[in-house]
């Protein structure tokens, strides 16, 4: 069912009368924090021509009960500020503070993290260190990384994994020293695109501050598009999950990655995924990921509704 922006914002306004679901009662599910990713708004704007004024997005997020925002570089305007640019960093953080929202993570990417050329890897570590400093200034809990690209001079994927793991050891150490963690995400179109690859990256990095994202759409495609991504989640282990990108899927590829659809509108059991996370003791952020979904507000409503049902039942 399509929900217009006007009608959805009206529904979201009613959420002000409800208690925001924060971690105050001590029960396990309430340790979760609900995040909203700006990547969904970016992709909807570029692909479907939608307009999302940032003030409207943040007002919606605050009213709908979200706790924080995952930033994406380049949207709504400009790149991330340098960590030593105190005025720009303060202005960026202050924008979200005014809506009672926390900037809890940022997205970063790049294949230099696993390039065969050690100078490229060294430059990536230096750039990553700068992003860690920015995250500290913004008050983030974690930093995300997407290792997309080709073989980048490696003879095969095995060698690329070795180089990526070595980089992640250094990156995770930087994160741990800053009081946060690294959470990386592999996707079916990447050269790292199987359950075995994911398990090997975690095993070869072997650092407590290096974790991975759980995205049901990616786990579904990496496990045969059977609509049961929670089974792969169980095999990887909830203790290895550092961030959740919550979305449903129909088990196909779309626009260069796993197709994302609103929770409850694909073939996955979103409730089952959340129950595995709850049972495994997951206590982190769950971000509603509306990548390439036309109606982001509708997807956000469906996603936080799924989180709420498990929280309230817990």
pLDDT per residue over 213-256, tens digit each? Answer: 999 999 999 999 999 999 999 999 999 999 999 999 999 999 98
Cα separation, 23 vs 130, in Å, equals 31
Cα separation, 285 vs 68, in Å, equals 9
Q: Apex CA 255: angle with CA 253 and CA 259, to 5°?
A: 40
Question: What domains can be seen in the chain, in order of their start residue?
Answer: 28-313 (3.20.20.150)
Q: How confident is the model at residue 30 (pLDDT cuts 50, 70, 90)?
A: low
- The predicted model gives 2-24 an average pLDDT of 40
> How high is the mean pLDDT of the chain?
92
Q: How confident is the model at residue 34 (pLDDT cuts 50, 70, 90)?
A: very high
Q: How confident is the model at residue 297 (pLDDT cuts 50, 70, 90)?
A: very high
- The predicted model gives 187-214 an average pLDDT of 98
Per the rule left: phi > 0, alpha: psi between -120 and 50, beta: everything else, 94 is alpha
In sequence order, the β-bridge partners of residue 286 are: 34, 244
Q: How far is CA 93 from the centre of its chain?
A: 19
Within 8 A by CB and 6+ apart from 96, the residues are 58, 68, 69, 102, 103
Instruction: Please determine, for residue 290, whether its predicted confidence score (pLDDT) is greater than 90.
Output: yes
- The predicted model gives 170-188 an average pLDDT of 98
- The share of the chain scoring above pLDDT 90, in percent, equals 88
Q: How confident is the model at residue 19 (pLDDT cuts 50, 70, 90)?
A: very low
Reference 13, options 59, 44, 52; nearest CA is 59
Q: Which pLDDT belongs to residue 27? A: 43
DSSP letter string, 62-75: HHHT--EEEEBTTB
Cα separation, 20 vs 63, in Å, equals 9
Q: Which pLDDT belongs to residue 314? A: 66
- The share of the chain scoring above pLDDT 70, in percent, equals 90
The model's pLDDT over 95-126, given as tens digits with 9 standing for 90+, comes to 999 999 999 999 999 999 999 999 999 999 99
The count of other CB atoms within 10 Å of the CB of residue 134 is 23
């Amino acid at each position: 069912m399509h929900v217009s922006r006007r009608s959805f914002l009206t529904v979201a306004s009613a959420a002000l009368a409800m208690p925001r679901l924060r971690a105050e009662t001590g029960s396990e599910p309430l340790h979760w924090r609900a995040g909203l990713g700006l990547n969904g708004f970016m992709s909807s704007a570029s692909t479907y021509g939608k307009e999302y004024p940032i003030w409207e997005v943040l007002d919606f997020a605050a009213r709908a009960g979200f706790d924080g925002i995952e930033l994406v570089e380049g949207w709504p305007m400009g790149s991330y500020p340098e960590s030593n640019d105190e005025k720009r960093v303060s202005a960026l953080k202050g924008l979200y503070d005014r809506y009672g929202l926390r900037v809890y993570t940022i997205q970063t990417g790049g294949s230099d993290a696993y390039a065969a050329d050690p100078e490229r890897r060294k430059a990536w570590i230096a750039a990553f260190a700068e992003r860690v400093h920015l995250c500290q200034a913004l008050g983030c809990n974690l930093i995300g990384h997407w290792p997309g690209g080709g073989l980048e001079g490696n003879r095969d994927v095995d060698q690329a994994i070795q180089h990526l793991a070595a980089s992640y050891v250094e990156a995770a150490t930087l994160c741990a020293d800053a009081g946060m963690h690294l959470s990386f995400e592999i996707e079916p179109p990447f050269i790292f695109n199987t359950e075995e690859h994911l398990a090997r990256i975690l095993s070869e990095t072997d650092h407590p501050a290096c974790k991975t994202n759980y995205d049901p759409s990616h786990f579904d495609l990496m496990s045969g598009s059977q609509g049961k991504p929670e089974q792969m989640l169980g095999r990887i282990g909830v203790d290895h999950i550092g961030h959740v990108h919550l979305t449903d899927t129909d088990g196909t590829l779309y626009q260069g990655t796993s197709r994302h659809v609103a929770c409850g509108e694909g073939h996955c059991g979103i409730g089952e995924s959340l129950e595995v996370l709850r049972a495994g003791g997951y206590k982190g952020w769950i971000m509603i990921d509306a990548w390439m979904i036309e109606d982001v507000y509708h997807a956000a409503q469906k996603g936080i509704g799924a989180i709420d049902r498990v929280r309230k039942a817990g």
